[in-house]
Structures are given as C-alpha cells and as structure tokens.
A and B are shown apart, each in its own frame.
Chain A
Amino acid sequence: NAGVMQNPRHLVRRRGQEARLRCSPMKGHSHVYWYRQLPEEGLKFMVYLQKENIIDESGMPKERFSAEFPKEGPSILRIQQVVRGDSAAYFCASSLGGAQNSPLHFGNGTRLTVT
C-alpha cells in the first residue's frame, strides 16, 4: 500500500514563474492537508481539503496561492508569480477521515527553490 506521494521532490523556479506541487493521498484517503516548512522552522498549516471542497484555508496566503483536490486525480498546490520568500519545503498529509482518531500520514515533501 503506497504512502502519500508527492512530486516533484525538488522544484526550481525563477521569480515570477508558477509552481505546481502535486500530492496523491494514500489509497482510500479523502482528506488532504498542506503544510509549509521554512528553513530552520516547524511545519505551518496552510490548507485542509476534502474531495472537491476546501474545508479550512486559514493558513494560506490570500494572494498567489491556491489549492484544489478534484474528484479524480491528485491534490494540487499552486503558487503563482513565485518570490524568493516562497522557497520552502511543502508537505502534504492525508487521512482516512476527518475525525481526531484518524491518523495523519505525511509525504516526503517538495522542496521549492526560487532563484
């Protein structure tokens, strides 16, 4: 049973370009969470999605960032017009349900570097 798959593992973008980060949750999981980890810091919550719905996006910057989790296919975190401050590791996690006893499984992250 494959775990949470994130790709690419590393992504390099120039300032002003778009970055698309993909996350395939564990099989059967319908809840997806995105976190950002800046260098030397802990993970910060960005957005919580269920299939076709954004449940909580309170941690996501209001501009340039968007996330989706379509009925078919992976969840996508999209960053438009990237700036150097967007350089970070972006982690996706999934759970079977939204209940508190539903364990969270993390992917290995995508490291975004903006040059």
Chain B
Amino acid sequence: AQTVTQSQPEMSVQEAETVTLSCTYDTSESDYYLFWYKQPPSRQMILVIRQEAYKQQNATENRFSVNFQKAAKSFSLKISDSQLGDAAMYFCAYRSGQETSGSRLTFGEGTQLTVNP
C-alpha cells in the first residue's frame, strides 16, 4: 500500500517570503500522480498543483512550484511571495496510475501553514 508522509505538522512564514513544505511517499509503482491540496478554515479542499510521475519537469502554478525527486520519492511544495491568503492546512496526496484505483487519493497528515504579516 502507498503511504504519504508530511513531517512538518506546522510551518510559518513572513508575508512576501518563501516557504517550502515537505512530502515523501512510498510506492512500488512507477506510474502515479502527486498533488498538493490546500484546506482553509472553510474546509474546502482546493487543488493547488499536480505532478505526473512520468514528467521530469517540475510543475509550476504562478507562485506555487514543486520539487519532484522521483528516485528519492520526495515531492515538496514551494510557495513564493507568500500572502496572507495562503494560510491554510496543506495536504500532499498520491494517486495510483492503475485503472482499478480510479481517482482515489492517499493523503498525508497535513502541514498547517501560518503567514505572519
């Protein structure tokens, strides 16, 4: 079974600074997808960024980028120019490439990000 580990329960960053959230995963599969989700106090799950394992290039979405190290099974999220609205719980998630798994996700335990003004 796949597992996802987020070793930082809490992180904080100053507004306009850069912060990196860590995520490691364990799998024996070669085909899979990785995601970062943001959950603000409203509880809504918001997709931040996604990475296909077969792609070597790191995904980027505006101020959000990832450092995907497939051999090390590491998938960190970098938030540049942090804004107050970035404060939330961030979840790393894994999705198998096998068809029988559908779109099922395995989540990490989350990292609570605080942005200080």
Task: Please list the residues of chain A having a beta carbon within 8 angstroms of any beta carbon in chain B.
Answer: 31, 33, 35, 41-45, 48, 55-56, 89, 91, 93, 95, 98-100, 102-104, 106, 108-109, 111
Contacts and interface: CB of A to CB of B under 8 A. Distances in A.
Interface stretch (B12-20, B73-81, B100-108): B100-108
Interface string B29-68: 0010100000000111101000000000000000000000
Interface of B: 4, 6, 31, 33, 42-45, 47, 91, 95-97, 99-110
Contact of A98 (B4, B99, B105): B99
A33 B108 CA distance: 17
B19 to A, nearest CB: 19
A55 to B, nearest CB: 6
Nearest to A111: B43
B108 A42 contact: yes
Contacts of B47: 103-104
A96 to B, nearest CB: 9
Given A42-B108, A42-B109, A43-B91, A102 B103 contact: yes
Contacts of B96: 100
B44 A45 contact: no
A55 B90 CA distance: 28
Contact of A108 (B44, B91, B104): B44
A48 B91 CA distance: 20
